[in-house]
Amino acid sequence: MIDRIAEGDCVLISGGLLSSLSENELREACCERAIGTQGCEKEAMQRSLERWIEITTPPPTLPEGAVWVPERSRLIALGLSTVWSIRQSREAQCCRELLVG
């Protein structure tokens, strides 16, 4: 799954396709990355995917000795997206109670 997401990220970045995706394609890309889409407008989904790309793309330069692990950045982003989506969803009251207490 992470490999498929990474391939999709590369296509979005290299092809500059983000702005040309249809609303359904945006929704699918967001769902693959656990980005909540319920009640979201097309522009909001585009911004969410842009943030995803920023978070999971290595910076132009790394501090000396630092190593970028793309899989780790995507796993962290998936976890954050999942938690955020659950907290935003009206239908996830049970999960929200587990997370918040």
Predicted pLDDT at 12: 83
Nearest to 44 by CA among 53, 35, 34: 35
How many structural domains is the chain composed of? Answer: 1
The answer to whether 20 touches 49, Cβ cutoff 8 Å, is no
Q: Residue 40's Cα: distance from chain center in Å?
A: 14
pLDDT in the model for residue 90: 60
**Nearest to 55, CA basis, from 38, 37, 43, 72:** 72
| Cβ proximity of 86 and 96 under 8 Å | yes
Structural domain of residue 10, as residue ranges?
A: 2-100
Alpha-helix residue ranges (DSSP H) falling in the chain? 2-15, 23-32, 42-56, 70-88, 93-100
Query: What is the pLDDT averaged over residues 17-35?
Result: 89
* pLDDT one-digit tens code per residue, 59-100: 889 899 998 888 888 999 988 888 887 777 665 555 556 656
Q: Tell me the pTM.
A: 0.74
Q: 25 or 98: whose pLDDT is higher?
A: 25
